[in-house]
Amino acid sequence: MRPLMLINLKRLASCGAFCLWALPLSAAETMFTDPIQSLEYGVICDYLPQGTEVPAPETNAGKVRRGGVPIHFDMESDIVPARIGTAFGIRMVMDPAAGTRTVTMVTSHPSFGEGYLSQESWPSTITGGRPSARYFVFEFDYELAPGTWTLDVFLDGALVVRKAFDVVDPSRIDAIDPCPGSAQIS
């Protein structure tokens, strides 16, 4: 009886491994590679945009913000309520030996509708040894698109950071809200 049980356990383990292999990548995909040394991510509830607006023609808004006070996540989560005033993003630190480098930031998201980009990109700089952040804040109703949103960072054409977030309709009864009771900013 014991050998039969062992054989069944091996079959079960093999089947389980195959099932895991066959699953699609999670919406919560996270990766970073050299020269990025650390990566944090999360949600910021009731965020008020800060920083200086600079042109970014390959974005829907035609601009991005740079600078401002360092961001602090209210919760480490990759589940984001699609709500005006909610922000989500990443904070990374690059190897100090890398110096200051130009990177390409890319945000991929579900369609906002006809005439809008589903992939937005802009150049930025990061400095080794210092935290660099990138985030997205919901400012307009058209941006409230549930689904998988991915924040990528490319250095010299190579992907060095990827973080996927699951943006959800906060009215869904089964949605987990990392910002319960958050005020609606208008």
CATH number for position 148: 2.60.40.2390
Dihedral over Cα of 116, 87, 85, 183: its sign: positive
Closest CA to 115 of 142, 93, 135: 142
Q: Is the residue at 65 inside a domain?
A: yes
Let me know the angle formed at the C-alpha of 80 by 154 and 170, rounded to the nearest 5 degrees: 150
Read off the pLDDT of each residue in 86-111 and give the average, rounded to a whole number: 98
Q: What's the pLDDT score for residue 129?
A: 98
Total domains, the chain: 1
Q: Is the residue at 74 inside a domain?
A: yes
Read off the pLDDT of each residue in 148-172 and give the average, rounded to a whole number: 96
pLDDT over 60 (residue 132)? yes
pLDDT over 60 (residue 79)? yes
% of the chain residues with pLDDT over 90: 70
Residue of 31 and 14 predicted with greater confidence: 31
Q: Is the residue at 180 inside a domain?
A: no
Q: Is the residue at 181 inside a domain?
A: no
Alpha-helical runs (H) found in 23-166: none
Read off the pLDDT of each residue in 127-141 and give the average, rounded to a whole number: 96
d(CA 163, CA 114): 26
Q: Is the residue at 47 inside a domain?
A: yes
pLDDT over 50 (residue 15)? no
Q: Is the residue at 176 inside a domain?
A: no
CA atoms within 13 A on the CB side of 5: 2
Residue of 96 and 3 predicted with greater confidence: 96
Tokens of 111: 């369609």
Q: Which of 134-143, 150-159, 175-184 has the lowest mean pLDDT?
A: 175-184
Q: Which residues span the domain enclosing 56?
A: 26-168
pLDDT band at 177 (very low <50, low <70, confident <90, very high): confident
Q: Is the residue at 14 inside a domain?
A: no
* DSSP type of residue 73: -
d(CA 120, CA 140): 16
Q: What's the pLDDT score for residue 182?
A: 61
Alpha-helical runs (H) found in the chain: 2-22
Q: Is the residue at 6 inside a domain?
A: no
pLDDT over 80 (residue 16)? no
Read off the pLDDT of each residue in 166-182 and give the average, rounded to a whole number: 79
